[in-house]
């Protein structure tokens, strides 16, 4: 066996907005059908990552996109394990159509016509110039999802690494640059699938920087750090539960929101994380997305008074005048996901003796391929104006009166950026210590 493709497949992702090229497809695939499955994958991954006591941010769809391309080119047990781990077994025959629908119906709607630079989701396939790939396979993904095809000379690993990292730097507006670590790309590398993600939105209700002040942030029941805490008094959708509060902070355009889930107890994040899954989280988002029904008369502080809730309406969520205290924070994560994916059942893909990626290569010319690494870099920056977030993944190889609701996020909490209509999780993470 030559050394060319033995550890040749590297997939890299980082989130950005892809344009769908016109294509003749049999039956349209509804985007909603894949969102639920990708959210299941998101919570599976989060369940593995939360074992480490640290701040966390990652992009589930940025991770799933390149893994799905690899799974579509896999066969046998390798394919079965990857599709099971991604929760995509039922759409095994229509992966490309499903992701095309996701990009066209969900991801492309995030940036408004006047705000094109606020969101990007772009995939690129970096193929070694020595060839050996299944052209019909790569063409099918570039045609259906708008992915870019980029030849590169992996016999010069440093030059190839710099080229891909420069692409990440450009697509994430400089937030992420060194996604592929030194030494990851070698002369054995066959190709890189890069997916770049970038998100930048302003709040619908901005915070006044003049009201930001240094306050205590509780790391647990007793230990604190001093940190900048933002404040505003506005109406927000709030869900009250015995163990936590949840709030939705909409971004301009109202296509996306930041969801914050705050434990009642200052040391209660682990218990709340344990109690949540994709289904319960989606229900929380659905509750928080209920429209505010306003009365004609003025209410407290001149704000409109909501009409009484209709019979049968969800009782856990309501619109309320809220005293919101939220830390200004920036979280950056860089992690190797290989062990995480193995724990989710994707073992053969990383085993050079068992991996089956025959669909990715021209069978008569190429040697076997296995995945050599899976990494993702991600960052989120939240301040008074809004949020900037980016991710880069590498895979180798409600009602109320004058009452004011208090939402003081002065201790560890969980957060997510979601697409409102589909409830697709774009970014998922937690803040343990804003001073880190």
Report how far residue 387's alpha carbon sits from residue 131's, in angstroms, rounded to the nearest whole number: 41
Q: Which of 30-34, 45-49, 205-209, 400-404 bottoms out in mean pLDDT, i.e. has the lowest?
A: 400-404
pLDDT at res. 397: 55
Residues β-bridged to residue 194: 12, 124
Query: Is residue 123 scored above 70 in pLDDT?
Result: yes
What is the mean pLDDT of the segment spanning 313-338? Answer: 86
Could you report the per-residue pLDDT of 241-269, keeping only the tens digit for each?
999 999 999 999 889 999 999 999 999 99
**CA torsion 315→317→322→328, rounded to 10°?**
150
Confidence of residue 386 (pLDDT cuts 50, 70, 90): very high
Query: Is residue 40 scored above 90 in pLDDT?
Result: yes
What is the mean pLDDT of the segment spanning 17-21? Answer: 27
Confidence of residue 103 (pLDDT cuts 50, 70, 90): confident
Query: Is residue 353 scored above 60 in pLDDT?
Result: yes
Sign of CA dihedral 115, 120, 121, 125: positive
DSSP-derived pairing of the beta strands 425-431 and 374-382: unpaired
Q: Do domains 9-202+330-395 and 209-328+399-431 have the same CATH topology?
A: no
pLDDT at res. 113: 61
Residue-averaged pLDDT of the chain: 83
pLDDT at res. 364: 54
Report how far residue 303's alpha carbon sits from residue 321's, in angstroms, rounded to the nearest whole number: 8
Confidence of residue 76 (pLDDT cuts 50, 70, 90): very high
Confidence of residue 363 (pLDDT cuts 50, 70, 90): low
Report how far residue 148's alpha carbon sits from residue 283's, in angstroms, rounded to the nearest whole number: 36
Place of tokens 């394919």: 79
What is the mean pLDDT of the segment spanning 366-386? Answer: 84
**∠ Cα 392 192 31 (to 5°):** 60
Confidence of residue 114 (pLDDT cuts 50, 70, 90): low
Confidence of residue 406 (pLDDT cuts 50, 70, 90): very high
Contact 17, 97 (CB under 8 A): no
What is the mean pLDDT of the segment spanning 205-213? Answer: 96
CATH 2.30.39.10 for domain 209-328+399-431, yes or no, is: yes
Which comes out higher in pLDDT, residue 399 or 169? 169
Contact 214, 227 (CB under 8 A): yes
The CATH class for the domain spanning 9-202+330-395 reads alpha beta
Report how far residue 372's alpha carbon sits from residue 406's, in angstroms, rounded to the nearest whole number: 48
pLDDT at res. 24: 46
What is the mean pLDDT of the segment spanning 94-114? Answer: 81
Place of tokens 């893994």: 67
Could you report the per-residue pLDDT of 47-57, keeping only the tens digit for each?
999 988 899 99
Could you report the per-residue pLDDT of 418-428, keeping only the tens digit for each?
999 999 999 99
Report how far residue 299's alpha carbon sits from residue 39's, in angstroms, rounded to the nearest whole number: 38
Place of tokens 């205590």: 216
Domain locations in the chain? 9-202+330-395, 209-328+399-431
Query: Is residue 282 scored above 90 in pLDDT?
Result: yes
- 356 Rama sector, left if φ>0, alpha if ψ -120 to 50, beta otherwise: beta
Q: Which of 43-52, 74-83, 176-185, 363-372 bottoms out in mean pLDDT, i.e. has the lowest?
A: 363-372
pLDDT at res. 202: 93
Contact 320, 236 (CB under 8 A): yes
Query: Is residue 215 scored above 60 in pLDDT?
Result: yes
Confidence of residue 291 (pLDDT cuts 50, 70, 90): confident
Residue 276's contacts (CB-CB under 8 Å, 6 or more residues apart) are: 43, 261, 414
Confidence of residue 293 (pLDDT cuts 50, 70, 90): low
Query: Is residue 235 scored above 80 in pLDDT?
Result: yes
pTM over 0.85, yes/no: yes
Q: Which of 52-61, 66-75, 182-191, 327-336 bottoms out in mean pLDDT, i.e. has the lowest?
A: 182-191
Report how far residue 416's alpha carbon sits from residue 431's, in angstroms, rounded to the nearest whole number: 11
pLDDT at res. 108: 78
What is the mean pLDDT of the segment spanning 71-94? Answer: 91
């Amino acid at each position: 066996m030559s050394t060319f493709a033995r550890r040749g497949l590297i997939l890299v992702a980082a989130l950005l907005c892809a344009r769908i090229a016109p294509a003749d497809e049999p039956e349209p695939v509804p985007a909603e059908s894949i969102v639920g499955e990708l959210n299941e994958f998101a919570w599976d991954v989060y369940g593995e990552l939360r074992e480490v006591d640290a701040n966390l941010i990652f992009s589930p769809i940025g991770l799933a996109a390149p893994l799905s391309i690899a799974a579509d080119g896999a066969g046998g047990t390798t394919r079965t394990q990857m599709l099971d781990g991604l929760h995509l077994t039922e759409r095994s025959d229509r992966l490309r159509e499903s992701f095309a629908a996701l990009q066209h119906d969900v991801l492309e709607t995030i940036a408004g016509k006047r705000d094109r630079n606020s969101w990007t989701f772009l995939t690129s396939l970096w193929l070694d110039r020595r060839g050996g790939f299944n052209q019909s396979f790569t063409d099918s993904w570039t045609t259906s999802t708008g992915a870019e095809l980029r030849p590169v000379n992996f016999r010069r690993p440093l030059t190839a690494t710099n080229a891909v990292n420069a692409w990440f730097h450009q697509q994430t507006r400089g937030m992420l640059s060194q996604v592929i670590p030194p030494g990851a790309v070698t002369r054995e590398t066959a190709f890189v699938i890069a997916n770049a993600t970038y998100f930048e939105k302003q709040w619908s209700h901005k915070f006044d920087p003049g009201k930001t002040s240094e306050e205590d942030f509780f790391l647990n029941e007793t230990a604190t750090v001093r940190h900048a805490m933002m404040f505003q008094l506005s109406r927000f959708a709030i869900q009250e539960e015995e163990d936590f509060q949840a709030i939705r902070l909409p971004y301009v355009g109202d296509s996306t929101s930041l969801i914050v889930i705050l434990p009642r107890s200052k040391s209660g994040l682990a218990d709340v994380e344990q109690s949540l899954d994709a289904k319960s989280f989606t229900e929380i988002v659905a509750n928080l997305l209920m429209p505010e029904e306003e009365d004609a008369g003025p209410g407290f502080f001149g704000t409109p008074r909501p009409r009484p809730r209709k019979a049968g309406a969800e009782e856990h969520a309501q619109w309320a005048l809220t005293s919101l205290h939220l830390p200004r924070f920036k979280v950056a994560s860089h992690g190797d996901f290989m062990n995480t994916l193995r724990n989710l059942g994707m073992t053969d893909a990383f085993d050079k003796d068992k991996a089956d990626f025959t669909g990715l290569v021209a069978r008569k010319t190429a040697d076997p391929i296995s995945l050599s690494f899976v990494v993702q870099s991600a960052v989120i920056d939240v301040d008074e104006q809004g949020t900037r977030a980016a991710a880069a993944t590498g895979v180798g190889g409600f009602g109320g009166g004058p009452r004011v609701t208090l939402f003081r996020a002065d201790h560890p909490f969980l957060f997510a950026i979601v697409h409102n209509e589909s409830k697709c999780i774009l970014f998922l993470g937690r803040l343990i210590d804003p001073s880190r």
